[in-house]
Structure 1
Amino acid sequence: MKKLLYIKASPRAEKSVSLQLGDAYLAAYKQKYPDAHIDEIDLWEANLPEFDGDSAAAKVSFFGEPAMNEKQKTVYEELVAIFNRFNAADDYLIATPMWNFGMPYKLKQYIDLLSMPGTLFGFEPSKGYIGLLNNKRATIVSTAAIYMPGLSKAYGTDHTTPPLVDWLNFAGIDDVTSVWFYGSKMRSEEDTKSAFEQALADARKAALG
């Protein structure tokens, strides 16, 4: 049975364009895999723990730092539970808007919580980082109101997709598809509608791929 984790990085609920595209992907995915298990995590409702000093200490123990104290062990167990939920999926769908040219801070927080040595990645001095998540695929659905490829930096720079793709690759996930809906405030009404329909089609295609 296929398992999909749908990661919602927008707080705008039904007004979110990125979530509208994500929902289109999800509908197509369910058509292809009617028995699939779907897990949805709304990062704004998930009550994620802070990544603080105890979290950092729990992680660096992997690299030979002093052993964790009892509080840090409890934090580590919470981080492992968050990771296990993520790792249980075969496929990932990340729906995110561009905020200040990058990803929303809740998505970055989630990534920091997940990125633990010994679970998400390993390390060897002679080889570097080694991603431990294999045979999985991911789709990133992103939206931006102003940014569009080909425009000058006065209209923004994409610091959303490249870091997400790099992180997924770092984790060992090489099968990554990116779907974009750009420049919703930069087009005519007709062009915006056409671009959105194309993004919907791209999202559905990614689900069926």
Structure 2
Amino acid sequence: MSQLLHVNASPRGAASQSLAIAGAFLSAYKDRKPETKVDVLSVFDDGLPDFGTTAAAAKMAAFSGQEQTPEQIDVWSQARAVFDRFAAADEYVFNIPMWNAGVPYALKHWIDVVTQPGWVFGFDPAAGYSGLMTGRKAFVVYSSGVYTAGVPQEFGVDFRSTFFNDWLRFVGITDVTELHFDGNGMLADPESALAAAVAKAEDLASTF
């Protein structure tokens, strides 16, 4: 049985447009593949372990092959539990609203917890980094209130999709489908535009 992890990066619940679009995708997907197990992770609500001084030391110990202290082992095991949930999936759905030109801080927190040496990436002094999450695929919904492609810089800059797409590549996930619902706060008919985005998500689910 395949498993899909839905990572919800919006804290807005039923008011979230990115979540509504991702939900439409998942509904259509589950109609086609009812046997798939779907796990939903809300990065603002599910609780993520702190990744501060002790965790950073644990990471460097793991990266350099040094022995971890008991305190480092404890925090490392908490991070590992978050990673194991990520690694258990074969497919991913992410809904990501734009926050201050980038991704919401809770999503960045989750990324910093799971992105560890030997878990999602390897390193070779000659060849550099290599992603270890190969063979998986992702569907990503990006949304924003003002920014949209081609607008002047005064209306925003997109470091959100460039950062997140590069992170997917870094960990080895290269089969990526994107849906952008950008500039939704500037639309003359937002309800019709949202309905069109939902229909597009449902169509993309038919081949995912």
* TM-score grouping bracket, smaller chain normalisation: over 0.9
SS at match of 1:77: helix
Deviates more, 1:58-67 or 1:137-146: 58-67
Q: What is the CA-CA distance between 1:9 and the residue it aligns to?
A: 0.7
Q: What is the CA-CA distance between 1:196 and the residue it aligns to?
A: 1.9
Aligned residue in 2 for 1:201: 199
- Unaligned ranges ≥5, structure 1: none
Tell me how large the CA RMSD over aligned residues is: 1.2
SS at match of 1:185: helix
TM-score, length of structure 1 as denominator length: 0.95
CA distance in 2, matches of 1:38, 1:112: 23
Deviates more, 1:56-65 or 1:76-85: 56-65
Q: What is the CA-CA distance between 1:140 and the residue it aligns to?
A: 1.0
Q: What is the CA-CA distance between 1:65 and the residue it aligns to?
A: 6.2
Count of residues in Structure 1 that have an aligned counterpart in Structure 2: 207
Residue identity (%): 39
Deviating beyond 3 angstroms after TM superposition, the runs of 4 or more aligned structure 1 residues are none
Counterparts in 2 of 1:126-141, with a 5 A limit? 126-141=126-141
Deviates more, 1:64-73 or 1:130-139: 64-73
Alignment check: 8 A CA contact 1:161 1:178 kept: no
CA distance in 2, matches of 1:23, 1:142: 13
- Unaligned ranges ≥5, structure 2: none
CA distance in 1, matches of 2:203, 2:75: 40
Q: Which amino acid aligns with 1:6?
A: H
Deviates more, 1:180-189 or 1:107-116: 180-189
CA distance in 1, matches of 2:193, 2:45: 30
Counterparts in 2 of 1:86-125, with a 5 A limit? 86-125=86-125
Instruction: List per-residue Cα deviations over 1:65-108 (Å, max 9, x = no partner).
Output: 64211000011111111101100001100111111111100000
CA distance in 1, matches of 2:125, 2:152: 40
Q: Which amino acid aligns with 1:3?
A: Q
TM-score, length of structure 2 as denominator length: 0.95
Q: Which amino acid aligns with 1:185?
A: G
Alignment check: 8 A CA contact 2:17 2:194 kept: no
